[in-house]
Amino acid sequence: MASRILLLAFLALVSSHAIASDPSPLQDFCVADKTSHVFVNGLVCKNPNDVRADDFFFSGLDRPGDAANKLGSNVTLVNVEKIAGLNTLGISLARIDFAPYGLNPPHIHPRATEILTVLEGSLYVGFVTSNTDNRLFAKVINKGDVFVFPQGLIHFQFNYGMKNAVAIAALSSQNPGVITVANAVFGSKPPISRDVLAKAFQVDKKTIDWLQAQFWMDNNN
């Protein structure tokens, strides 16, 4: 009896890990039906008879994104919103363009691991582990180099050079999501209490007021 209980507990544990990321496909493909109003964990499948080659196609990743902004970076994400055929396949892609000294700021992908390769230039990249270690793993990577950012950890990419840089990233979800740390903390709607933030960051309330004003302005432009 005890062995059966242990076996059931083990199977439950394995099953929980198996469904912890994007669900696996149960057929060859499940092209997203973007006209459906049914809410499911993912997107409803289009009738396979209505599927066409263009449902698996995206054009334009060869064109640089506009990095002429405060951060000096631009992310062109190719997820299930861009390619309906990605639905249930657990993968997406992004092109990241960097102006000189451009930054893809500290952020999190709550649903995906990221693997990134540099196409042009050099980048200083890194991620920070969870509490309580908060250990930084960082490295300068060059053209042809590859770096991995584990799921759910804060990470960044910075072009420290005088020339533009380009990278391609693959992510282990059709919809990886992104939480930019500074925007979420200082630009939330409605704003987080300045008493909370002042205590959390150990700064005065005037500094919090200034930061919130900056990010509210950026988020509403």
Binding-site entries: 104, 107, 109, 114, 155
Q: Which amino acid is at 186?
A: F
Query: b or e along 79-105 (b: 16 or more beta carbons within 10 Å of the residue's beta carbon)?
Result: bbeebbbbbbbbbbbbbbbbbeebbbb
Helix axes 194-201, 205-219, angle to 10 degrees: 110
Contact 141, 165 (CB under 8 A): no
Annotated binding site for Mn(2+): 107, 109, 114, 155
Q: Which two tokens stand for residue 16?
A: 């929980």
Calpha distance 22→42 (Å, rounded): 8
Return the beta strands (E) in the chain as ranges. Answer: 73-78, 92-98, 103-108, 114-120, 122-128, 136-142, 146-149, 154-158, 165-171, 179-180
**What phi and psi, each to the nearest 5 degrees, are found at residue 19?**
-105, 15
Strands 146-149 and 154-158: unpaired
Annotated binding site for oxalate: 104, 109, 114
